[in-house]
Amino acid sequence: MKFIPHDYQRYAIEFIKTHEEAAVLLDMGLGKTVITLTAVADLLWDSFSVRKILVIAPLRVARDTWPAEVKKWDHLSGLRISVAVGTETERRVALQRQADVYVINRENVQWLIEKSGVKWDWDMVVIDELSSFKNPQAKRFKALMKMRSKVKRIVGLTGTPASNGLMDLFAEYRLIDKGVRLGRFISRYREEFFRPDKTNGLVVYSYKPLPFAEEEIYRRISDITISMKSVDFLPMPEKVLSEVTVYMDEREKREYDRLKNDLVLELDGEEVTAANAAALCNKLSQMANGAVYTDDGKTKVFHSRKLDALEDMIEAANGHPVMVVYWFKSDLARIEERLREKGITFERLDDSESIERWNRGEIPVLLLSPASAAHGLNLQSGGSHIIWFGLTWSLELYQQTNGRLWRQGQKAETVVINHIITKGTIDERILAVLKNKDATQEELIAAVKAEV
């Protein structure tokens, strides 16, 4: 297929070519993979600026998306690509193959650098989903930083750079510019731009940006950052967000409130305890969804309100494909059991074949976990209806999952994103937090927005 780039794509290609350090914040559906590969091809063959490129991406994106894009476009046909995923032997074979671009999943970055025995010979690195390197204590971050001085060019790609606030940006830009703009130490970054927010004595649980922090941080990173949102450049389908509310009965609500207040609950002789605030949030989310893990690892069914609503919503879709998003494995098991009982055909999204079947319209109900399938997958051909059975606290996973259908190439005029919310539970709080996080990220995106 012939690649005829949009103006914004030409701009992004040139930005990557003219900046040895680049953070490219591209919204879902803007073609970040073909943009980057086009810039890589030009750097390889036209200016001879690079010799060997390493792409680090989420597993399924590394395995499916990057090689598919090379095959798709005529101008990339000469680009040799080797995908290093799978077993350790398979990865070593792929890394020793003669190629221009090597693609590895982010979980194996530490293995590549510290254990593979393969000599580091890449002078350009592309990090697909830069936000997955937001933790400066993570092993993958520390391993890649060891090689940063050997990398001549680096590109960070993401649509969600600050999904959990401005603190995320430190590690991401530490990789990009080696600490020039936001500093080399996160302790100094915190001291300069934040103040303690939630504390317990000397223990600080969270930090709050100082009044000037956002503007100053955006100013410092603006010279190596461009930002583009889909709605600014592409004819996007209408996005409809809706909530379907379900209600617990009085007994269920009392038990829910008891766990919330006392951190301990007994359900039919099975004890459920929450050791800390994070565990409590998980337990309350499980109860809102209808089933909770007991202390001995069993699943105790609490209610079936969301399953009833899901069944009604699938029926109301009138045969149109529906993507159902779950968070807990206990929810997946219960959803599958209900669908089997009702004779509703479904599949999990768990391999390349299921992706292809969904996009061909062969799967009426697709079950998807945002933790494993939110990034980079093109699923817009298979349907236009998303149902969130259970919510995630992660704005990044939430937006990326919605972006699998609400993106360029979606043939439907409207993409409907439904949330099943249990009234009076943590569901309502999670949705509110996602909206608040979105405000911070929108300000970051706007601050470094590219003028094309």
Task: Provide CB contacts within 8 A for 389, sequence distance 6+.
Answer: 289, 306, 310, 324, 325, 326, 327, 331, 335, 420
Strand partners, 417: 241, 386
Place 223 in a pLDDT band, splitting at 50, 70 and 90: very high
Q: How many helices (H) and strands (E) does the chain have?
A: 19, 21
Average pLDDT over residues 331-354: 92
Burial 382-402 (b: 16+ CB within 10 A, else e): bbbbbbbbbbbbbbbbbbbbb
User: Are residues 331 and 289 in contact, defined by beta-carbon separation less than 8 angstroms?
Assistant: yes
Place 230 in a pLDDT band, splitting at 50, 70 and 90: confident
What region, left, alpha or beta, does residue 82 occupy, with left being phi > 0 and alpha being psi -120 to 50 degrees? beta
Residue 374 has pLDDT above 60, yes or no: no
Average pLDDT over residues 254-269: 75
Residue 133 has pLDDT above 60, yes or no: yes
What does the pLDDT read at residue 111? 98
Phi, psi dihedral angles at 300 (to 5 degrees): -105, 120
Task: Provide CB contacts within 8 A for 316, sequence distance 6+.
Answer: none
Q: Which two tokens stand for residue 44?
A: 């390889």
DSSP assigned state of 229: -
Residue 202 has pLDDT above 90, yes or no: no
Which CATH number fits the domain 7-233, given the four candidates 3.40.50.10810, 3.30.210.10, 2.40.30.10, 3.40.50.720?
A: 3.40.50.10810
From residue 285, alpha-carbon distances to 5, 173, 243, 258 in Å are 44, 33, 16, 14
pLDDT tens digits for range 233-243: 877 888 888 88
Query: How many Cα atoms are found within 13 Å in the side-chain-facing hemisphere of 51?
Result: 8
What region, left, alpha or beta, does residue 178 occupy, with left being phi > 0 and alpha being psi -120 to 50 degrees? left
Residue 343 has pLDDT above 80, yes or no: yes
Q: Which two tokens stand for residue 408?
A: 């360029």
pLDDT tens digits for range 66-76: 998 999 899 99
Q: State the DSSP H helix or E strand holding residue 166, giving kind and residue range, or none if neither.
A: none
How far is 255 from 166, CA to CA, in rounded Å?
37
Q: How many C-beta atoms lie closer than 10 Å to residue 306's C-beta? A: 25
Average pLDDT over residues 410-414: 84
Strand order in the sheet with 124-128: 81-84, 101-105, 53-57, 124-128, 153-158, 21-26, 225-228
Residue 383 has pLDDT above 80, yes or no: yes
Place 451 in a pLDDT band, splitting at 50, 70 and 90: low
What does the pLDDT read at residue 395? 87
Q: What percent of the chain has pLDDT over 90?
A: 60
pLDDT tens digits for range 153-196: 999 999 878 877 899 999 999 999 999 999 999 999 999 999 99
433: exposed, middle or buried (Cβ count in 10 Å: 0-12, 13-18, 19+): middle
Write the secondary structure of 279-347 as one string of H (helix), E (strand) and C (coil): HHHHHHHHHHHCEEECCCCCEEECCCHHHHHHHHHHHHCCCCCEEEECCCHHHHHHHHHHHHHCCCCEE
The CATH number of 238-442 is 3.40.50.300
What does the pLDDT read at residue 192? 96
Residue 122 has pLDDT above 80, yes or no: yes
Domain residue limits, the chain: 7-233, 238-442
Give the mean pLDDT of the chain: 89
Q: Do domains 7-233 and 238-442 have the same CATH topology?
A: yes
pLDDT tens digits for range 65-121: 899 899 989 999 999 999 999 999 999 999 999 999 999 999 999 999 999 999 999
What does the pLDDT read at residue 382? 86
Average pLDDT over residues 336-349: 94
